[in-house]
Amino acid sequence: MSEEVKAPAGTRMAHEELGLDPDAVLTMYRRMVLARALDRRMWVLNRQGRAPFVISGQGHEAAQVAAAAVLRPGVDWAVPYYRDLALCLALGMTAREFMLSVFARAEDPTSGGRQMPSHFGLARARIVTTSSPVATQVVHAAGIAYAAKVRGLDEVVLTTIGEGGTSKGDWHEAMNFAAVHRLPLICLVEDNDYAISVPHRLQMGVDSAAERASGYGMAGTTVDGGDLLAVLKVMRTAVERARSGGGPTLVCAKVARFTSHSSDDDQRRYRSQEELETMLRRDPIERLRGYLLEAGLLTEEADDRLLQECTAEVDEAVQSAQEAPAPDPADLERHVYAAEGA
Ligand SMILES: Cc1ncc(C[n+]2csc(CCOP(=O)(O)OP(=O)(O)O)c2C)c(N)n1
Ligand SMILES: [Mg+2]
């Protein structure tokens, strides 16, 4: 870890500045490590022919875990997109629940095995099930925030989207609506430089989607999405603004997309070896790990144990989800056609 992390005597470290005790930072680190372990396992299962499809959050973990940390699960709403495994785990989804969706089991809390993996949903944590058409979630989120405002409820809505998705009309309409009505909405753009194979420079004429915030009449911030504590600070300001009636915030977190777009893509066909190597050095987990070691909050031994625990949790989740029953074929048309007599 670099020298700059070492605080001179008497100077508070970044987590102390944020009023975080060691346990709080370590809990967030663990969530990131567990998300990565689950994500990696999904690729193995896919290559073994056991998981139908993978879409990964590797490289996005810090931004997601920091965003989740400012929400009250079950009170506030999360309207995520498909890369948000770490976000959903941090809001209370279990590793087993995630694997139930990967294996399309009846107990899958997202859709009872009807959706593709990573189309997250969890009613008890107020995670709204993910739609496949990009950017539609932002419209749903603005609607939920509007309902909360009309009803006078103290609820905040977080929605997430990729930078490519911000080119959709839905996004612009939702942002405008949120600003006009000063809704308690936070839109987190997880900018990983690519929309499948389309690079950022061919997607928009600005460096950050957050630069558009002033055009809607809302606050906007761009943040290094590889830095957990930096994102947390920005998200705290955003959530305070939302709760105090100050309206929506647009946050753009610059992250790295470690994997190809999905298991049906190969990013080596459109990103040079050099670009990939540089990008892969932007690992939010390695970065936080370095910080924790330097700050004396973690030892190499404790870190090894933590990784072993997370791996065991993934093993159990896979085993248990695999053994869980498949949906009943008789349920196939449920939620598709109106039930007779209904
Ligand atoms: C309306 C619509 N058009 C196209 C797609 C296919 N598609 C799925 S993800 C994606 C790229 C999204 O890129 P970005 O918003 O940057 O998110 P990222 O995957 O990089 O996190 C596209 C074009 C879709 N799902 N919905
Ligand atoms: Mg993208």
- Is the CB–ligand 1 distance for residue 195 below 6 Å? yes
Instruction: Supply the mean pLDDT for the chain.
Output: 95
Q: Determine the pLDDT at residue 336.
A: 84
- Looking at the chain, the whole-number percentage of residues with pLDDT higher than 70 is 96
User: Which residue from 53, 196, 254, 262 has its CB within 8 A of the most atoms of ligand 1, so it is best to mutate?
Assistant: 196
| Contact assessment for residue 120 and residue 80, using Cβ atoms and an 8 Å cutoff | yes
pLDDT at 246: 98
Q: Which atom of ligand 1 is nearest to the CA of 133?
A: 26
Is residue 340 pLDDT above 60, yes or no? Answer: yes
In the predicted model, what is the mean pLDDT of residues 161-166?
98
Percent of the chain with pLDDT over 90: 92
In this prediction, residues 16-28 reach a mean pLDDT of 97
Band of residue 8 on the pLDDT scale cut at 50, 70, 90: low
Rg (CA), the chain: 20
Distance of CA 196 from the midpoint of ligand 1 (Å): 7
Architecture field, domain 14-256+268-324: 3-Layer(aba) Sandwich (3.40)
Q: Is the CB of 170 under 6 A from ligand 1?
A: no
Pocket lining: 283 vs ligand 1, CB cutoff 6 Å: no
Instruction: Say if ligand 1 is within 6 A of residue 191 CB.
Output: no
Ligand 1 atom at minimum distance from 261 CA: 19
Cα 202 to averaged position of ligand 1 atoms, centre (Å): 14
Asked whether residue 4 carries a pLDDT value surpassing 50, the answer given is no
Q: pLDDT tens across 230-288, in order?
A: 999 999 999 999 999 999 999 999 999 999 999 999 999 999 999 999 999 999 999 99
Q: Cα of 75 to ligand 1 centre, how many Å? A: 29
268: CA distance to ligand 1 center in Å? 18
pLDDT > 50? residue 82: yes
Q: What is the pLDDT at residue 339?
A: 78
The reported pLDDT for the residue numbered 2 is 39
Confidence of residue 9 (pLDDT cuts 50, 70, 90): low
Q: What is the mean pLDDT of residues 157-186?
A: 98
The active-site residue, picked from 212, 257, 287, 289, is 257
Q: What is the mean pLDDT of residues 302-321?
A: 98
The CA-to-CA distance between both ends of the chain, in Å, stands at 62
- What does the pLDDT read at residue 341? 66
Domain ranges of the chain: 14-256+268-324
Q: Which string of DSSP letters, residue by residue, matches 148-213?
A: HHHHT----EEEEEETGGGGSHHHHHHHHHHHHTT-SEEEEEEE-SEETTEEGGGT-SSS-GGGGH
Q: How far is the CA of 107 from the centre of ligand 2 (A)?
A: 31
Cβ of 133 below 6 Å from ligand 1: yes
226 lines ligand 1 (CB under 6 A): no
Asked if 185 and 157 touch (Cβ cutoff 8 Å), the reply is yes
- pLDDT, tens digit (0-9, with 9 covering 90-100), for 91-128: 999 999 999 999 999 999 999 999 999 999 999 999 99
Please, what is the Cα angle at 255 between 250 and 256, to 5 degrees? Answer: 155
Rounded to whole angstroms, the Cα distance separating 253 from 246 reads: 21
Q: pLDDT tens-digit profile of 40-72?
A: 999 999 999 999 999 999 999 999 999 999 999
**What pLDDT was estimated at residue 3?**
42
